[in-house]
Amino acid sequence: MQNILFLNKFYTPKIINVIYWISVVLYILAGLFLVIEGYDAEERLQGLFLLVFGPVLSRIMAELTVVPFRIYDKVCKIADKMAADEEKCSVENTVKETAE
């Protein structure tokens, strides 16, 4: 419960993943419907474009939404590693000072 209240963990990337797959399925179904049930060649061509480019557009939008969260994760890992290295250095300096 604390993770939710204090934003210690992000759930948005998981939600975006679900939304991405739902949109891909909807694009494919809508494209197939237009290709099969289209009244004229123009609607069938629109269905074909929707079938091909809908999932691609959905993927691009999902990636653009998730990228800041991935950057945040990487920056946190770098900060944790730097903090651990600084702690290691301070412990080594303390040991050297006490040895002298």
Give dist(CA 67, CA 20) in Å, integer: 14
Return the C-alpha torsion angle 84, 86, 88, 91, nearest 10. -140
pLDDT tens for the chain, 100 residues: list them. Answer: 666 677 777 888 889 999 999 999 999 999 999 988 878 888 889 999 999 999 999 999 999 999 998 998 899 889 888 888 777 776 556 655 555 5
Domain limits for position 23: 2-99
Number of domains into which the chain is organized:
1
Model confidence, pTM:
0.72
